[in-house]
Amino acid sequence: MEIIDLAKGEGLNDPVFVPAGELFFPGGKELLSTGDTFLPSERTFVATVGFFDGVHVGHRHLIEQVKEEARYSGLPSAVVTFPVHPREVLQSDYRPLLLNEFEEKVSLLASTGVDYCIILPFTEALSRLSAEEFMRRVLKETLRVDTLVVGYDHRFGRDRAEGYEAYARHGEEMGIKVVLATGFQMEGFSSVSSSRVRSLLQSGNIQDANRLLSFRYTLSGTIVPGNRVGRTIGFPTANIQLREPNKVIPAKGVYAVWVRLVGDEVYPGMLYIGTRPTFNRESTVSVEVNLFNFDGDLYGQSLSVEFIDFVRGEVKFNSKEELVTRLRCDKEEVMRMVSDCLPASLL
């Protein structure tokens, strides 16, 4: 997959030329003339547009239809997405709950086999465009989209006031073919959406969340000093400062995980999310992991954890001894869970 990053004005793989005219850029200039740079006249796309948080099975179903239409048309396929959640731009105090870091999302989009990922900066100027203006000024004149595949329930443009019928009418007038994608159904689920995945994670339903994602949910970050209580009870933990502070944190409790360190070393582990109620009355939620069969200093290192399953909820124990007894049982359960699930790199 080739990446065209209009937010940076250059590609992450190759230099990118954009058509003369108006483009939408952040950093103080909402409209920026690009002078005489241009895309080659033959560069057109079959594209779809969206934020694609999670790149879940519903998103993948849509992208497959983009790829199929592209094969039929003899054109490259493209996903047009945004580096930040649109509401972050429109509401300064809005903090989205994200399923992916941006780089993670781009990597997942690449795994779909789409030809191009076009990163479009979302600005207030962009938000003021009607659907017709967005299609004409951005998709047609700037990106030269030939065919637009629209998700069956997706809306764009100012106030999201229009739907597929209007998009098709606008497209016919300006020379963009508009195709309505089919919806996606998955057995056992009434709907597949990013919000559904978030809800499952926040209730501790890791297995169903992973099914909808089609991969294991992952948290990544840097190891920072903690209160070192785990060392005193035989279960030393590494406290994780998340790289993306807005990423969804699953429900409080204990989880079976695989832990990946720098250099692709992988260890089974027991992850805890909670406020340590047995030892203190803090309200701050910590994310910490006990690596099995590991002996070393992790401070300052980066790691990622992929969630296998939920073990139990957060409990306030009556004594340190009671906690240790339960942790030993938890570890046995975690070892059983991870023994049935190889880390993603070995699948």
> For residue 23, what pLDDT band results from cuts at 50, 70 and 90?
very low
Strand ranges (E), the chain: 2-5, 10-11, 22-24, 31-33, 45-49, 77-81, 116-119, 145-150, 177-180, 218-224, 238-242, 253-261, 266-274, 286-291, 302-313
Angle 160-89-174 (CA atoms, 0-180°, nearest 5)? 40
- Model confidence pLDDT, tens digit, residues 328-337: 999 999 999 9
- Model confidence pLDDT, tens digit, residues 283-319: 788 999 999 988 878 888 999 999 999 999 998 888 8
Please give the model's pTM, rounded to 2 decimal places.
0.86
Number of C-alpha atoms within 13 angstroms, CB side, residue 170? 20
Is residue 228 scored above 80 in pLDDT?
A: no
Return d(Cα 276, Cα 282) in angstroms, integer.
7
More confident residue, 323 or 7: 323
CB atoms within 10 A of CB 345: 10
Class of domain 217-346: mainly beta
Residue 309's closest CA among 251, 266, 229? 251
More confident residue, 263 or 253: 253
**Mean pLDDT computed over every residue of the chain:** 84
> According to CATH, where is 3.40.50.620 located in the chain?
2-180
Amino acid identity of residue 82, one-letter, is F
Return d(Cα 110, Cα 113) in angstroms, integer.
6
Out of 15-24, 261-270, 314-323, pick the least confident: 15-24
- DSSP secondary structure code for residue 264 in this structure: S
Is residue 148 scored above 60 in pLDDT?
A: yes
In the three-class reduction of DSSP (H, G, I as helix; E, B as strand; rest coil), residue 313 is classed as strand
> According to CATH, where is 2.40.30.30 located in the chain?
217-346
Which pLDDT score, from 0 to 100, does residue 9 have? Answer: 47
Which pLDDT score, from 0 to 100, does residue 281 have? Answer: 65
Which pLDDT score, from 0 to 100, does residue 12 have? Answer: 39
Question: What are the Cα distances from residue 81, in Å, to 31, 55, 93, 223?
Answer: 18, 11, 22, 31
Is residue 35 scored above 60 in pLDDT?
A: no
Q: Which residues contact 124 (CB under 8 A, 6 or more apart)?
A: 30, 89, 90
Q: What is the mean pLDDT of residues 49-63?
A: 95
pLDDT above 90 covers a percentage of the chain that reads 49
337: β partners: none
The full length of the chain comes to 347
Separation of first and last alpha carbons in the chain: 22
Is residue 29 scored above 50 in pLDDT?
A: no
More confident residue, 257 or 264: 257
Q: Which fold has domain 2-180?
A: Rossmann fold (3.40.50)
More confident residue, 59 or 8: 59
